Amino acid sequence: MRFAGNVWRGTGRQADVWYAKVHILNVEVYGKSEMDVLCLICDAVSRIVDQPGFRVGLHLRDDEQIRDGTFYLWTTDEDALCRVADRRNPGWDDDT
């Protein structure tokens, strides 16, 4: 299972700021470069999960470049990441 995220550059006055977001985990970071925000998003997710031995990383594309602003997270513990998604999005899987 992979969790998709987006990275983009600000516009106008924020043109020197980069943003990254993983929507299903409701996590967003900003920084000075594309690589900066990709490192920060991995760090933010691992801090939110907060379990010993938990690791998270990025899977880009086959050519290891981000196209259309999409990246994917991989993890050593998919269940932990799913629990975080449930906690941070209450009611997202309700059938009512």
| Per-residue tokens: 36 | 């900066």
The answer for residues whose C-beta is within 8 angstroms of residue 37's C-beta and 6 or more apart is 7, 18, 19, 20, 29, 30, 31
Q: Are β-strands 70-75 and 18-22 bridged in parallel, bridged antiparallel, or unpaired?
A: unpaired
**Do residues 41 and 22 make contact, with C-beta atoms less than 8 angstroms apart?**
yes
The string of pLDDT tens digits covering residues 5-37 is: 999 999 888 889 999 999 888 899 999 998 899
The model carries a pTM of 0.80
Residue 68 identity: D
pLDDT tens-digit readout, 54-83: 899 887 665 555 667 888 888 988 888 888
